[in-house]
Amino acid sequence: MNLHKLILTENACYKAGKKITVKGIMVHSTGANNPNLKRYVGPDDGLLGKNQYGNHWNTYHPGGREVCVHAFIGKLADGTIATYQTLPWNHRGWHAGGSANNTHIGFEICEDGLTDYAYFKKVYREAVELCAYLCKEYGLTEQNIICHSEGYKQGVASNHGDVMHWFPKHGKSMDTFRAEVKALLAADTKEDTEDTAEPVVTYPEKLTSGYYRVRKTWKDSKSQVGAYRILTNAKAAADKNPGTFVFANDGTAIYPADKTTEPDYRIHTVVKGDTLWEIAEQYLGKGARYTEIKKLNGLTSNVIYSGWKLKIPN
């Protein structure tokens, strides 16, 4: 998943400021032949491209309508596929035309002419990954995912056909969609259990070789106040001696995390709702160098989960 964030703060829905308890996800597609994110998401952040008509949804009532969703999936200016989060996930959206607004996160997949399989395959997969991510964040399962037309049948949404006027053209349905989300969640759980998904370096509480050294800097060995086999003891020593850090055997400063100055990265503990893009922007400024964070942490996608400790380049 290629997740970015641009909250539609000018939209009346955002300004209404209502929160929901997330109980499900509703999948929509836009119903218009325009696969470009810039049609709906703006202003241009350098990746979206400029919407020359200024008719994106970061306006009070887009096209005179009370509409807003939590995310869009479509094309960036360079033709690659991305997801843009456009409302906080637990904000009450205006997407269902029914009571699902009170319970469901809603996102739109930008439609094209509906016949291009290559485009469909990419946005469909992106949507599966987004749903798996949201299921993990909100403790949901694939059973909590419906599309707009299913919502209508359940009496919680207005009478629209999306996405079942599109998915079947390419051999897919909401059932295949849910099955793929389920598979992805199962794969993630398995990886977590096998401890291969975590890009985070963990340091053992008790070393059998080498020491945790407490110093001001790695190079300044004279500033060392102690060397410990037990991590807790090393941390206690660093706490007692302001300005010192706990260093692992390879010279990596590992404690205290928020003040670590050596080597040239800091640690960010991911909290619920963080996106990689957002963290990059927070630490590294606009035009975020989030690819550096990905590289530094050995990440292969932009999906990050609560509790991960990410290295942030200085």
Summarize as ranges the residues that interact with Zn ion (CB under 5 A): 28, 148, 160, 162
CA angle (296, 276, 31) in 5-degree steps: 140
Cβ closer to Zn ion: 4 or 160?
160
Q: Phi and psi of 132, rounded to 5°?
A: -65, -40
CB of residue 152 vs Zn ion: minimum separation in angstroms? 9
Q: Closer to Zn ion at the Cβ: 109 or 140?
A: 109
Q: Minimal distance in Å, beta carbon 78 to Zn ion?
A: 27
Cβ atoms of 7 and 279 closer than 8 Å: no
**Which one, 29 or 51, has the nearer CB to Zn ion?**
29
When the beta carbons of 174 and 238 are compared against Zn ion, the nearer one is 174
User: Closest approach of Cβ 93 to Zn ion, in Å?
Assistant: 11
CA dihedral for 191, 192, 195, 200, sign (positive or negative): positive
Least separation in angstroms between CB 148 and Zn ion: 3
Cβ-based nearer residue to Zn ion, 104 or 160: 160
Q: How far is the CB of 207 from Zn ion (least distance, A)?
A: 56
Instruction: Give the nearer residue to Zn ion in terms of CB position, either 111 or 162.
Output: 162
d(CA 224, CA 245): 9
Q: How many angstroms separate the CA atoms of 81 and 4, rounded?
A: 11
Q: Smaller CB distance to Zn ion: residue 70 or 148?
A: 148
Give burial (CB, 10 Å; 0-12/13-18/19+) of 138.
Answer: middle
User: Residue 166 Cβ, how far from Zn ion at the closest point, in Å?
Assistant: 11
Closest separation in Å from C-beta 162 to Zn ion: 4
Q: Which amino acid is at 252?
A: T
SS3 labels along 34-96: CCEHHHCCCCCCCCCCCCCCCCCCCCCCHHHCCCECCEEEEECCCCCEEEEECCCCCECCECC
Q: How far is the CB of 28 from Zn ion (least distance, A)?
A: 3
- Minimal CA–CA distance to 134: which of 251, 58, 25, 287? 25
Alpha-carbon dihedral sign for residues 193, 195, 196, 197? positive
In whole angstroms, give the CA distance from residue 21 to residue 91. Answer: 9
